[in-house]
Structure formats: C-alpha cells, structure tokens
Amino acid sequence: MNTESTALTSAAEALPSTAQPGVVLVGVDFGEPHFDNELAELGLLAQTAGYHVAHRLTCKRKAADPALFVGSGKAEEIKQLVHMSQAGEVLFDQSLSPGQQRNLEKFLGVPVNDRTLLILEIFAQRARSHEGKLQVELARLQYLSTRLVRRWSHLERQRGGVGHRGGPGETQIELDRRMLTDAVKRTREKIEKVKKQRLTQRRQRARRGNFAVSIVGYTNAGKSTLFNALVKARAYAADQLFATLDTTTREMYLAQAHRSISLSDTVGFIRDLPHGLVEAFSATLQESVEADLLLHVVDASSDTVPEQIAEVQRVLLGIGAGEVPQILVFNKLDAVPTDRQPEQWVDQMEWDGIDIDRVFVSSKSGAGLDDLRGMIAQRVTSSPASTTRTPEDWEI
C-alpha cells in the first residue's frame, strides 16, 4: 500500500461490507460539547455494520493535524493497537479529509474510514426498496466523487463498458470524475421519477382529506416500535441504528376523533448525518415536510436527550419541516431509572423559547399511549382541514 491509488482502492473495497475482522475505533476530542468519550455511538454503528470492535481509543487535541488528523505519537499508538489486535481497519468518529485518510492508510497499513462512510455503509446494507437503494447509491457516489476512488467494476456494470470514452490524453482521474458525474446524474434522474410517483400518491391522499402524521426522531429512539403499537403493524424494529430506511404508511383509526388518520414511520436521524445522505433521502424525508403533525420520538432513557433532540430539530429545519407542529413523545419510560421518572406523563417542554406538548410513553408496555392518542385526536379535531369521517369512508 505504498502508492496513492492502492490506498484509495483499499478504502473503496471496504464499502460493500461483509463480516469484518476487528476494527479499532478512534475519537478525537476537540473540546466540542457532544464528544462521546466512550465512543458508544460509533461502537453501535460499527456493530450495526457487522464489525467486531477490537479497541477504542480517544485523545484530546486543539485542532486536527492537517496530515494525519492525530499527532504522530498517537498515530504510532494506533499502529501498535492495530498490530496487537490484528485489526483489519481503523474507524474515526470524525470526518477525515481525503488527504488525511490516504496518509493514515499509508502509515497504518490498513484501510481507514470515518463515521460518514460507516453510515453510508449501513444504509447500503439496509436499503431494501428500489427508492432506498437509489438514494443510498446517490449519496455514495457523491461521497466517492470527493475522494475520486477508482471503482471501475462497479461503474462499468452500470454503463456497460467504458473503453471508448475520452481521448488518449485523458488522465485516469479525469475519467473517474466524469464517470462519477454521469453516474450521479443518472441516479438523480431515476430519483426524480420516484419523487413524482410519491407526489401523486400524496396528492391522492390529500384529496381524501387525510390528516397525515409522521413519526420522526433520532435513530433507535423506538419510532418503529411506537408505529407498530399504534397501528398494530409489524414494521421492522431492532436494537440497531437505521433499522428503518423506507417510509411505511398505514391508516390509523382514532376513536377519540371519530376518524382515521395516516401514520408514517420514517428513517432516523443521527449526529453528523452525511450531507449527501440528507439530500439523497429528500424524497423519503418529504413525507415529514408535508405532514400535518410530527410525533418527535425521543429515547427518554438516553444520557444524551438534549443533544438528540437538537440534532433532530436541526435536520427538520434543514429539510423544511421546521414549521410542522410537533408532539414530543418521550419513549422508553419503562427504562428510565426511578430517580428520573417524570412527575406527570403529559406536560410541555420548552425548546428554543417555544413550549412543545410532551407525553411520556413506553411503546413496549403500552403505557401512555392512550394519552398520546388523545393528544393526536385533539390536534386532528382542531385542525382547519379536519372533516369528520366515519369508518365507512376508510380507504386503506
């Protein structure tokens, strides 16, 4: 691995993940408030992607070293850990520049990847629907185009041969760049088509006077479990990050409002969600933008509740859903320690100077769900678009 292109290729080969040997996790504390000293989230991401975590290492720095991200002493320490544990890869909690990634790979002799790539890898493994796969593909292509990784076989399959493009003077990198640009364009076009189909479906729903509720929140907060509890469905719920990638929508009858509404389970958010991924998932996320109400699910048993809420609010703002009314659903009440149990299950929480209705529930035991149904019903009946519908009107 002593030439630049070899190092780059090895990084690319780590993309489609199979069962991996051990990995060493590295986090650098630049004094940011959310720094996770245990690297717990990175560890969960790594496990979700199928890696075995061999070692975790954190260090403090004022700023990233331009060449190696960490200092040379720390790099040497990582190298020894890799050697000792026979780890096959090193994963950084922060984003590395393409140069830093290359230099580290040369120095350490194993592929080095960052959190962004790990998240992309999980999305690639999880994507099931045609739309989900296209979205992940677009995000990956965008990531790769900043790194100019040679992924010939992959792109050749899409194009059906590359041999005749470009003059003899064209360099490898120019060709790489053009192929990636073409691939991004083609994938975008396909996503546009899917977007149009979704829009038609949404318009049909809107014409039926439907009240649309979207469940949003940090990954692993329990969105799918809540969705299943509310509509008695069986959406995939698991103790993994990004178990859900595709939006699922079901009708739900609200006895208190004497009508049905539509409820959607959506993809979770995470700190430092790769920008390309948010953009690529815009079709899926659009569901939340056009909802009449968001159920913002929070894992009340987590130690990082404010950070997780902040991240979700940030992404919602970014996708244009900042104005959609919300109910904060503090889930996993059963897992909240006794000394942190709330005095009452329904109250308001101030966030950014605004009081947001909040309810504590346990999607697992069903506690608090009636309160939540009542709160949704109240929003439905007070909504200007609300029309009373009887069960005979249901269109499922």
Contact set with ligand GTP (CB under 6 A): 217, 219-225, 237-244, 268, 331-332, 334-335, 362-364
- Could you say which of 101, 244, 260, 308 contacts Mg ion (CB under 5 A)? 244
C-beta of 298: minimal distance to ligand GTP in Å?
10
What DSSP string runs through 132-171?
A: HHHHHHHHHHHHHHHHT---HHHHHHHHT--TTSS-TT--
The answer to whether 219 contacts Mg ion (rule: CB under 5 A) is no
Two tokens, residue 255 = 């006895």
Query: Is the CB of 82 or the CB of 120 nearer to ligand GTP?
Result: 120
Given ligand GTP, Mg ion, none, residue 220, with its beta carbon under 5 to 8 Å by kind, binds: ligand GTP
**How do 346-351 and 354-360 pair as beta strands?**
antiparallel
Q: Which two tokens stand for residue 190?
A: 């396909």
Instruction: Candidates 8-16, 146-154, 189-197, 216-224: pick the segment binding Mg ion (CB under 5 A).
Output: 216-224
Please state the closest distance from residue 270 (CB atom) to ligand GTP, in A: 8
- Interface with Mg ion in residues 170-189 (CB under 5 A): none
Out of ligand GTP, Mg ion, none, what residue 222 binds, judged by CB under 5 to 8 A for its kind, is: ligand GTP
Helices 40-48 + 115-126 axis angle, to 10:
40
- Tell me how far, at minimum, the Cβ of 243 lies from Mg ion, in Å: 5
Residue 392: how many other CB atoms lie within 10 Å:
5
Which residue number is nearest to ligand GTP in terms of Cβ?
268
Q: How many beta carbons lie within 10 A of that of residue 139, not counting itself?
A: 24
Q: Which does 364 bind (CB under 5 to 8 A by kind): Mg ion, ligand GTP, none?
A: ligand GTP
- Min dist CB 302 to ligand GTP, Å, is 10
Among 100, 135, 210, 224, binds Mg ion (CB under 5 A): 224
47 Cβ neighbours under 8 A, 6+ residues apart: 53, 240
Smallest gap, in angstroms, from Cβ of residue 316 to ligand GTP? 15
Which residue number, 113 or 224, has a Cβ lying nearer to Mg ion? Answer: 224
Burial class (CB in 10 A: 0-12, 13-18, 19+), 66: exposed
Residue 332: exposure state from Cβ atoms within 10 A (0-12, 13-18, ≥19): buried
241 binds, among ligand GTP, Mg ion, none (CB under 5 to 8 A by kind): ligand GTP
Q: Which CB sits closer to ligand GTP, 132 or 268?
A: 268
Q: How far is the CB of 223 from ligand GTP (least distance, A)?
A: 3
> Which uninterrupted H or E stretch holds 203?
helix 172-207
Distances from the Cα of 258 to the Cα of 250, 294, 377, 395, angstroms: 17, 20, 9, 15
Nearest distance, CB of residue 194 and ligand GTP, angstroms:
20
Kindly state the tokens that stand for 171: 């360099």
Question: Which of Mg ion, ligand GTP, none binds 335 (CB below 5-8 Å, type-dependent)?
Answer: ligand GTP
Query: From Mg ion, ligand GTP, none, which one binds at residue 101 (CB under 5 to 8 Å depending on kind)?
Result: none
The Cα–Cα gap between 96 and 65 comes to 10
Check residue 243 for interaction with Mg ion (CB under 5 A): yes
What's the rounded Cα separation, in Å, for the pair 100 and 119?
Answer: 19
Query: How far from the centroid of its chain's Cα atoms is residue 248's Cα?
Result: 16
Shortest approach of ligand GTP to residue 214 CB, angstroms? 13
> Counting contacts by CB under 5 A, is residue 210 touching Mg ion?
no
**Residues near Mg ion (CB under 5 A):** 223-224, 243-244
